[in-house]
Structure 1
Amino acid sequence: MNAYLHRSDSRGHVKMGWLESKHSFSFGSWYDPKHMGISALRVINDDLIDGHQGFGQHPHDNMEILTCVLKGTITHQDSMGNHGGIAAGEWQLMSAGTGIRHSEMNQGDEQVHLLQIWVIPNVRDAEPTYQQIQLDPREHPNQWHLICGPNDNAPMHIRQNAEVKTAVLEKGKTLDVQATQHINYLHVVSGSIQVAEHTVHAGDAIAFVDPAQIEALDDAQVIWFDLAENIQ
């Protein structure tokens, strides 16, 4: 199988006091021209945020910003009037559109672990929106769970021809992967999986076009980005 492997140790690693982050693609002070995103997927930041710290008010526009909390609770507040916690097993999607300001703060004592994912929208300068769902794949393992997509059947609507799904796979279990758009990009959150001849570990990612089956080498969580060939 032809595939592009993006190993964890090729990610950018940034440690700034209360924040430790690993960047799959160029972000902030870390720049690598070989890792600028894939299709409309622009950012996957794997963040550890110390207690009573976080990101103060700052602006975004024309970006779809998806947050997946893996451990702890992050407190969100934005200029649209949304204010509340996003706990482990919950997902937040902000369509920044014409512009928003927001903060993400860890108000607890324990470290928060989250993924922040940016997708370039296919509509510019739209009205900003906020969506949040509870969907913990550990509760129903060994199946794909749709997080967001462009169609009305998706739990959250994203402004791009892309779908984001997640699954927790128990050791030895398998799932099929076949893009409805063009490109499969699998990011392994935890554990290890086998994709054809490729072994993909936590923090790694693999991109491929042809249909494939993945097998969990041990208990694993995977996020699947079903992406168009070109940004639209």
Structure 2
Amino acid sequence: MNAFLHPSENRGHVKMGWLESKHSFSFGNWYNPDYMGVSALRVINDDLIDGHQGFGQHPHDNMEILTCVLKGTITHKDSMGNHGGITAGEWQLMSAGTGVRHSEMNQGDEQVHLLQIWIIPNERDAEPTYQQIKCDPREQPDQWHLIVGPNADAPMHIRQNAEVKTAVISKGKRLPIEATQHVNYVHVIEGKVQIAEHTVDAGGAIAFLENSEIVALEDTQVIWFDLPEKVA
């Protein structure tokens, strides 16, 4: 299987006071021309946010911004009038469209752990939208859970021909990877997996084109991005 491996140790590592972040792709002050995204997937930031800290109000436009909270609760507030907490096991999708301002703050004492994911939309200057769901894959392990998709019946609708799925996989279990689009990108949140002849550790990822199978070498949580061949 032809594959592009993205080891965890090749991620950018940024530590600035209250925030520790590992960047899968070039972001902010960390730039690596070898890591500029895969297909429509542009950002995966693995963030640790100290208590009573966070990202103050700032703008975005024309980006699909997906947040996966792994530990703690982050409080979201935006210019569309949305305000509330996103806790571990919940997901938020903000389609920035023509423009939105928002803040993400840890109002508790304990550190928050989350993934911030950006996907380039296939529709520009659309009306901004906000969606939020609960989907904790630990409650139903060893199966894929669809988080976002391009169709109206997806749990959250994304403006791109892409699907994002997650799974918690018990050690020794297998799950098929059968793309509906063309480009597969599997990011390992925790644990260790094997895909074809390739082993991927926590924080690492693998991109490939063929259908395949994922084998959990340890108890594992992963995110699978099923992405278009070409970005519209």
Superposition TM-score, scaled by structure 2 size: 0.99
* Cα distance in 2 between the residues matched to 1:40 and 1:123: 12
Residue 44 (structure 1) shift:
0.2
Percent identical residues:
79
Q: Cα deviations across residues 63-115 of structure 1 (Å, max 9, x unaligned)?
A: 00000000000000000000000000000000000000000000000000000
**Alignment correspondent of 2:157:** 157
* Cα distance in 2 between the residues matched to 1:14 and 1:209: 31
**Alignment correspondent of 1:143:** 143
Residue 153 (structure 1) shift:
1.8
**Alignment correspondent of 1:229:** 229
* Cα distance in 2 between the residues matched to 1:118 and 1:209: 21
Matched, 1:30 2:36: no
* Cα distance in 2 between the residues matched to 1:36 and 1:68: 21
Paired residue type of 2:120: I
Q: After TM superposition, which residue ranges in structure 1, 4 or more long, deviate above 3 angstroms?
A: none
* Cα distance in 2 between the residues matched to 1:200 and 1:33: 22
| Local SS of the residue matching 2:184 | strand
Residue 61 (structure 1) shift:
0.3
Superposition TM-score, scaled by structure 1 size: 0.99
* Cα distance in 1 between the residues matched to 2:137 and 2:183: 23
| Local SS of the residue matching 1:14 | strand
Q: Cα deviations across residues 2-37 of structure 1 (Å, max 9, x unaligned)?
A: 111000000000000000000000000000011000
**Alignment correspondent of 1:5:** 5
* Cα distance in 1 between the residues matched to 2:3 and 2:120: 23
Residue 59 (structure 1) shift:
0.2
Aligned length: 232
| Local SS of the residue matching 2:81 | coil
* Cα distance in 2 between the residues matched to 1:3 and 1:36: 16
**Alignment correspondent of 2:170:** 170
| Local SS of the residue matching 1:138 | helix
| Local SS of the residue matching 1:26 | coil
Q: Which 5+ residue runs of structure 1 have no aligned equivalent?
A: none
**Alignment correspondent of 1:48:** 48
